């Protein structure tokens, strides 16, 4: 890769437009065999490249701050492994060539940002890429080539995960991890492996390792993005293939702990499974999860206890109010029903009294149905403010709404239908008159045209 970017002046006529003035390429090192078509990059080729990216508001700035360096990346043209500007530039290159590709932000990181050392590429930044095409894999890729492609996808995902944490970068990293894992999963299921050959055993182990790492990284990405349901699903996908995978167990436990939809039993089971597979009893991540689980469980119990106390307090208040209402009802009965208290004795008018011990107590009969009917018929004793008027208002509103949506609405619909019918009839008469007029004077229309 060229270290010095000021080795050559750049003028407008040296740039070739790829997407108008928003994406332009300028080759600075060309191959000696330009006529060899096998050296030119084609769609779906697996291409090994090096590139670096610099912040460049316009294409004349060649020494802007460095925002990315990539060496020995293996990308597949058309699978969006890299930014559109890089992929489009590679598509117009051949093996051994080096080119400058200047890109508007919409073909680079767009509104996203990127960190590189102490520099952070701002949003909507234009970028200058210097790309070198090292090699192109043969069309009939071997098992080792497929593993190399998947490994490169995983590494590209790691680079994005670490330096481009924004919605655009998250989507790209997710795509890279998923494709790498699925590619190796398919290879392990369909590949012809010979267990008695050391090379096949090594490749099979490597493919399995890339698959598990990719799905594990996908779970970590979902955790960081606070999408705990998808994090659990990715971790479970790893555990289905490797039940003893400690990273997957830890991430599944963490996702279950942070997911509001999870229950404490699920979290406890996940933590127990992770503890049983831990190589070190004092594993820091596991200890932190256990402490957080205990803290959340205590907080939940405390909150539940407070809610239960409030519930008991509420029920007690309701009971007190009921008792007070009952006492008030009893007092009103004493005032209105002829019940009198005299010297601590209870007497009721019209009732036969009897003495017991040293005092006389009057027997209180049950209220008769006649007295209840009499109280109900006495409109002066009705609770107008709290009971009668609200119910009367509700009944009145019901009648009004019924009248509006039945009688009045029907009348309006009939009027509209009559008006529409009258308009149609008038239009028909006009059309008939116009038709008769045309028949009587056919030249009038021709003259108008």
Write down the pTM of the prediction. Answer: 0.65
Going by C-alpha positions, the residue among 218, 215, 213, 192 that lies closest to residue 204 is 192
Q: Is 293 helix (H, G, I), strand (E, B) or coil?
A: helix
Q: Does domain 1-140 have CATH number 3.10.50.40?
A: yes
Q: Is the pLDDT of residue 444 over 60?
A: no
pLDDT reported for residue 321 = 67
Higher pLDDT residue, 282 or 16?
16
List, in sequence order, every residue forming a beta bridge with 74; answer none if it has no partner.
Answer: 48
Q: pLDDT band at 346, cuts 50/70/90?
A: very low
Separation of alpha carbons 343 and 22, rounded Å: 105
pLDDT reported for residue 341 = 38
Separation of alpha carbons 402 and 405, rounded Å: 5
Q: pLDDT band at 4, cuts 50/70/90?
A: very low
**Alpha-carbon torsion (112, 115, 118, 121), positive or negative:** negative
3-state secondary structure 390-427: HHHHHHHHHHHHHHHHHHHHHHHHHHHHHHHHHHHHHH
Q: Is the pLDDT of residue 430 over 80?
A: no
pLDDT reported for residue 402 = 79
Q: Is 73 helix (H, G, I), strand (E, B) or coil?
A: strand
pLDDT digits (tens, 9 = 90+) for 175-203: 999 999 999 999 999 888 877 788 888 99
Buried b (16+ CB within 10 A) or exposed e, 338-362: ebeeeeeebbbeeeeeeeeeeeeeb
């Amino acid at each position: 890769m060229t270290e010095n970017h000021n080795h050559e002046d750049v003028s407008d006529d040296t740039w070739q437009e790829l997407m108008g003035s928003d994406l332009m390429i300028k080759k600075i090192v060309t191959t000696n065999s330009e006529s060899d078509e096998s050296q030119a990059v084609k769609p779906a080729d697996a291409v090994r490249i090096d590139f670096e990216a610099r912040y460049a508001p316009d294409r004349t700035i060649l020494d802007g701050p460095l925002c990315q360096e990539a060496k020995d990346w293996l990308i597949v043209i058309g699978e969006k492994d890299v930014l559109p500007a890089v992929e489009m530039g590679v598509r117009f290159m051949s093996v051994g060539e080096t080119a400058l590709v200047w890109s508007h932000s919409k073909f680079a990181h767009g509104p996203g940002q990127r960190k590189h050392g102490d520099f952070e590429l701002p949003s909507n930044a234009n970028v200058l890429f210097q790309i070198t095409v090292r090699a192109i894999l043969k069309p009939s890729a071997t098992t080792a080539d497929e593993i190399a492609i998947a490994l490169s996808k995983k590494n590209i995902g790691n680079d994005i995960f670490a330096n481009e944490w924004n919605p655009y970068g998250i989507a790209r990293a997710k795509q890279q991890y998923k494709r790498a894992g699925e590619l190796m999963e398919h290879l392990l299921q369909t590949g012809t492996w010979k267990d008695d050959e050391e090379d096949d055993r090594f490749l099979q182990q490597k493919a399995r390792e890339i698959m598990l790492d990719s799905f594990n990284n996908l779970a970590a990405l979902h955790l960081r993005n606070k999408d705990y349901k998808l994090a659990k699903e990715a971790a479970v996908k790893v555990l289905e293939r490797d039940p003893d995978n400690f990273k997957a167990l830890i991430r599944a436990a963490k996702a279950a702990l942070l997911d509001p939809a999870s229950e404490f039993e699920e979290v406890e089971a996940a933590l127990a499974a992770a503890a049983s597979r831990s190589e070190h009893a004092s594993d820091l991540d596991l200890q932190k999860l256990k402490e957080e689980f205990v803290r959340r469980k205590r907080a939940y119990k405390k909150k539940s206890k407070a809610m239960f106390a409030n519930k008991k307090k509420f029920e007690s208040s309701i009971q007190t109010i009921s008792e007070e209402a009952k006492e008030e009802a009893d007092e009103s009965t004493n005032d209105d029903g002829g019940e009198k208290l005299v010297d601590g004795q209870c007497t009721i008018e019209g009732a036969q009294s009897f003495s017991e011990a040293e005092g006389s107590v009057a027997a209180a009969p049950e209220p008769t149905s006649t007295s209840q009917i009499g109280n109900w018929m006495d409109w002066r004793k009705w609770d107008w403010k709290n009971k009668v008027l609200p119910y009367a208002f509700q009944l009145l509103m019901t009648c009004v709404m019924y009248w509006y949506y039945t009688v009045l609405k029907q009348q309006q619909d009939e009027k509209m239908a009559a008006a529409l019918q009258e308009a149609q009839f008038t239009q028909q008469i006009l059309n008939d008159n116009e038709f008769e007029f045309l028949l009587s004077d056919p030249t009038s229309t021709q003259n108008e045209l």
